[in-house]
A and B are shown apart, each in its own frame.
Chain A
Amino acid sequence: MTTDDIREDPVMEAFARLPVIEPDPRRAERVRARCHGAMGQRRRAEKLPARATSPFSWRRLEPALLAGVCAVYLFEVLRRALLLYGF
């Protein structure tokens, strides 16, 4: 069937007369609000990495500090173990 056939076809024409049923308006508003919220959240989330990439940001500092504390702890454990065995 071509587009012209469809326009002239009585069976297809019957579809144009079918009643339009409206979706639940309350749910429609909820969906709209949900999507707005998600888009807004996404936008805000995209602004965060800009702050996180600054040289003194906590996100970069945190793993380094943790690694430092672990290294000090491990060094102290090893030092005491060696002392116990008389080295």
Chain B
Amino acid sequence: MDRETELALVQRLREGDPAAFDPVYDEFHGRLYNFLARLARRRDVAEDLLEETWVRLVASARRLRPDTRLGPWLFTVARNLYVSYCRSRLLDESLSADLIGLWPVTARQPSPFEEVAASELERRVECTLAALPAIYREVLLLVGVAEFSPAEAAVVCGVTPEALRQRLSRARAMLARELEATPGHGIPSLSEVMT
């Protein structure tokens, strides 16, 4: 979507034109879902957060600034919703831990993508990505999958571009280290494949 089209769509959304919603939805629905599903590591949570993201856009359409960049705006909302979800889940888990003693309730579930990744390398990347801390996972997803520039990703994460670049370097190093450390059986390591 070029900038001119985007600005025209923002203007129509501000005017409350329901027809302007469809192109925005078609452009970002899949990308947002992939981002949220890999971030949350659960399809059902991703679907719920995605729906709420669109509801927020509709509710805020009139208040959008004329120069709004829809991609960063939507991903920021989606990310903030995920952060809120994590906070509420932490609260739930701390309460339920009080109720049922020290039963482990935070066991990591396999990402849906771990199940569908076609190749072993993809599977390993998915597994390693899913195991990274959320702040590094989101940076890698925004830049590597959603294809945002570091500056745009910084806006989404609410940090300075410099801080994001550092976080990205750290995330990339962690990912590479993890991939090197866990080669599959009879499968070349990532560096062997890539170089």
Residues of A within 8 A of B (CB): 1-3, 6, 9-24, 27-28, 31-32, 34-36, 38-40, 42-43, 46
Contact = CB atoms under 8 A, between A and B. Distances in A.
Contacts of A19: 113, 116-118, 122
Interface string B171-182: 010011001000
B143 A10 contact: no
Please report whether the interface of chain B is mostly helix, strand, loop or mixed according to DSSP. Answer: helix
A19 to B, nearest CB: 6
A36 B21 contact: yes
B16 A46 contact: yes
Interface stretch (B28-36, B81-89, B94-102): B28-36
Contacts of B150: 1-3, 6
Please report whether the interface of chain A is mostly helix, strand, loop or mixed according to DSSP. Answer: helix
The 5 closest A-B pairs by CB, nearest first: A15-B144, A10-B194, A23-B33, A39-B18, A38-B58
Interface of B: 16-18, 21-22, 25, 29-30, 33-34, 37, 46-47, 50-51, 54-55, 57-59, 61-62, 112-113, 116-119, 121-122, 125-126, 140-141, 143-145, 149-150, 165, 168-169, 172, 175-176, 179, 190-191, 194-195
A9 to B, nearest CB: 7
Contacts of A32: 21-22, 25
A34 B55 contact: yes
Contacts of B125: 14-15, 18
Contact of A27 (B47, B58, B61): B47
A39 B113 contact: no
Contacts of B143: 6, 12
